[in-house]
Structure 1
């Protein structure tokens, strides 16, 4: 078990890696464009932020300077009461742009169930998300990520969630943004159910944010992650690379990253894949770096396979 990281340790690591971060930035300008790029989900640092060791405003700075990453995905829980605070958002945008970091999306939680059986609560949940659409647009994001929670039978939940999701998507579309649903518990972690929901919404601005690891439907049921990913990739406008722990060779111990990324590649996806480290054995910075190394290694492996056999493209 590694020792607990203090605020001083965290900041010292960031400073020590500053030069390396800029070196990666310069090297990236001359390197060929990879078939996917790597971003950082803010949840990867949730313990560090909640403990006060990292100011959420500094997240894009840390993403670049500490980890050499060029894009980020925010989590609304870290600035829950600041969605309409333009001074706060302006400062967050300034820090991201100052580092050359692209803001991709805001992950939105705790705003009600978009598929609530009560029409008034469902409408309120939709409207609760409006401020995050507006905040995401201000920050230069392409999407917000939402949950598709509901209640009732398989078909009833799909119909109710589609109603709320369609209304929110129409609002987001008017602002030039997408609404993405993550497999995030309940029936949303059933790949067939979520894919059917997106088809039912039937809007080009409504898609998925497949997460490699969120396939637990209930206490006793877990959906197959590889089948689920394959079902959600046709609608993906982002991908979350969940990670928990790593073996001595740097492989994720619960998930086969080669198999997962082959599914992503076969779907023709060429966007960002966001690191979302959620383990406990490694501290958060170490877990993020381990995930980054794994993504880079498998990315290179699959790119080489494609060069050898064009049928893999």
Structure 2
């Protein structure tokens, strides 16, 4: 193909992406879109280092330093599991000061183990919302744009959709004055059915409720092996996305992910005009945690360079 033709196509593609990004920013306030024409920036999901932190080889309070000094990544996504026993105003102030000292942005807290936001009983849903409030307060104090939650529920397909949407809206009403989004990740069960989760978004219809598409979490039923097509799933979830998790498992000698086609995934992400943070989340065992993080980071940077 003629190089001039290719250049024009790339310019047109980028113009369309920027136009879509402006639309997304209007539709979803607080979605942390980037300025300056940068297609995306990289953040580090703390779960990528879960063996190191759970094993006691590193202090979770040092997450910002590790992200910056070891991996040269300037955005971080906390995991509440590492702070459950120590959560306090003093801890949050310490984390905030450490991040500021490293020039690292605190982006979100991934919240697990606080109940089912789509519980069948309304009182149980309200209790789950209450359980999440301390993490929302922490995220606000850290300067995050979101908390990531789960959409667990029980009942029929439609019942779970209504119940999950109800719990999400209740939590979003608390988070809205804090300037926080409530993001749902495809994270097992019906939440890994992107069609269902998209319908939850449409049912909730709250500007602070959105998705955090994960490249790898599309197993609906581990016992039967039922799995949603990951590329279709990300495509369906991206219109509601305010963050993205670039999950990785293993790489070949050429630095390509062998489970997921990252170029195809990032084409899907950028096609809707997304221009925010993309989280590096290595979850494999072929490479060490540090090596897996670097391989994921470098692949995303290589793709970014071609946009």
TM above 0.5, yes or no, is: yes
SS in 1 for 2:227: coil
> Structure 2-normalised TM-score?
0.87
Cα deviation for residue 81 of structure 1 reads: 2.9
The residue aligned with 2:277 is 272
The residue aligned with 2:45 is 41
- Equivalent pairs counted in the alignment come to 270
2:86 & 2:205 partners in 1: Cα distance? 32
Cα deviation for residue 130 of structure 1 reads: 0.6
> Structure 1-normalised TM-score?
0.85
1:287 aligns with 2:292: yes
Q: 2:79 aligns with which of 65, 75, 90?
A: 75
Task: Show structure 1 runs of 5+ residues with no match.
Answer: 1-31, 304-313
1:176 & 1:296 partners in 2: Cα distance? 30
The residue aligned with 1:61 is 65
SS in 1 for 2:71: coil
For residues 150-196 of structure 1, what are the alpha-carbon distances to aligned partners after superposition, in whole Å with 9 as ceiling and x for unaligned? 01111010011111111001100021111000000000001110011
1:141 & 1:262 partners in 2: Cα distance? 26
2:207 & 2:143 partners in 1: Cα distance? 19
Cα deviation for residue 119 of structure 1 reads: 2.0
Moved over 2 A (4+): none
Please say if residues 114 and 150 of structure 1, whose CA atoms lie closer than 8 Å, have aligned partners that are also in contact.
yes
2:37 & 2:178 partners in 1: Cα distance? 29
Give RMSD over aligned pairs. 0.9
* Higher RCO structure (Cα 8 Å, ≥6 apart): 2
2:298 & 2:138 partners in 1: Cα distance? 32
Task: Show structure 2 runs of 5+ residues with no match.
Answer: 1-35
2:37 & 2:99 partners in 1: Cα distance? 22
